[in-house]
Amino acid sequence: MTFFEFVGQFWPRLLSGTGITVAQFVLAAALGVVISLAAGLMKLSENRIVNGVAVTYIEIFRGTSLLVQLYWIFFVLPLFGITLEKFTAGFVAIALNTGAYGAELVRGGILAVPKGQWEAALAINMSPAKRMWRIILPQALINMLPPWGNLMIEVLKGTALVSLISVTDLMFQAKQINGTTFLSAQVFGAALIIYYILARFLVTPFMRWLERFMARKLGRA
């Protein structure tokens, strides 16, 4: 069976898998950004407890594998009375993992904002929350967007792991089709190409657009 005949026959399943993969990616990325911001700001806090919580979270999630975290959340967390449905467990695990890496980017981005900006905000009597939200964060965002592009590709790649807890994403569909047809080169080849298209022609251009958009918004274009 040639590659095109193969795609012609199996495209509905590949497409539905791609839909789940995109959904997992969007949810994990959105939640990951929120967690990154929270953990990054917490790590900058001078309160020892707040800071300690953030450091512990970041070290645990950066020190272990995403797969271990995913299995732990899906198989062990129910023993503590927190049962997550597999779809939810999937994107939550990826988001928690992403958040730990993203927190370091947030922290680095904030620290790279010139000291004068902090002083100027203080001088015009802004409250700490307002200063962070209106002055520091927007500039920090510009500093950290380029590495965020790479992290988003890692999020997309991470979504493939949710197939191992039976979320019917692209990877899962590919495995299933392979199991029934044994057309490994065709099915895995098609899946590789779909992931590549998602990464190269959707995620990366979107992040580039976001960089330009933010730069324009801050008058730095």
Partner 1 sequence: MFDWQWEFVWEILPRLVQATGNTLIAAGAGYAIALVLGLVLALAQRSPSRVLTFLVREFVEFIRSTPLLLQIFFVFYVGPQFGIRLSPWMSGMIAIGLHYSCYLSEVYRGGIESVPRGQWEAATALNMSTMQTYRRIVIPQAIPPALAGLGNYLVGIFKDTPMLSVIGVAELIHTANAIGSENYRFLEPYTMVGLIFLAISLPSAGLIRGFEGYVRRKLGM
Q: Phi-psi bin for 127: left (phi > 0), alpha (psi -120 to 50), beta?
A: beta
Q: Which of 50, 199, 207, 214 binds partner 1 (CB under 8 A)?
A: 199
The verdict on 221 binding partner 1 (CB under 8 A) reads no
Taking the complex as a whole, how short is the minimal distance between the CB of residue 143 and partner 1, in angstroms?
19
Taking the complex as a whole, how short is the minimal distance between the CB of residue 76 and partner 1, in angstroms?
5
The verdict on 71 binding partner 1 (CB under 8 A) reads yes
- Opening angle at CA 141, ends 136 and 147, nearest 5: 140
Q: Is 32 helix (H, G, I), strand (E, B) or coil?
A: helix
Residue 182: its H or E element? none
Nearer CB in complex with partner 1: 33/183: 183
Q: How far is residue 140 CA from its own chain's centroid?
A: 18
Q: Which of 46, 47, 80, 129 binds partner 1 (CB under 8 A)?
A: 80
The alpha helices in the chain, defined as continuous H runs, are 3-44, 48-63, 66-71, 86-111, 115-123, 128-130, 137-158, 170-181, 184-197, 204-217
Can you state the angle between helices 86-111 and 48-63, rounded to 10 degrees?
120
The verdict on 188 binding partner 1 (CB under 8 A) reads yes
| Contact present, 167 and 24 (Cβ < 8 Å) | yes
Q: Which of 65, 112, 133, 209 binds partner 1 (CB under 8 A)?
A: 65
Nearer CB in complex with partner 1: 74/87: 74
Q: Which of 46, 48, 63, 119 binds partner 1 (CB under 8 A)?
A: 63
Q: Which of 47, 48, 49, 79 binds partner 1 (CB under 8 A)?
A: 79
The verdict on 24 binding partner 1 (CB under 8 A) reads no
C-alpha–C-alpha distance, residues 175 and 179, integer Å: 6
Taking the complex as a whole, how short is the minimal distance between the CB of residue 10 and partner 1, in angstroms?
16
Residues of the shown chain interacting with partner 1 in the complex, contacts defined by CB under 8 A: 59-60, 63-69, 71-72, 75-76, 79-81, 153, 156-161, 163-164, 171, 174-175, 178, 182-185, 188-189, 191-192, 195-196, 199-200, 204
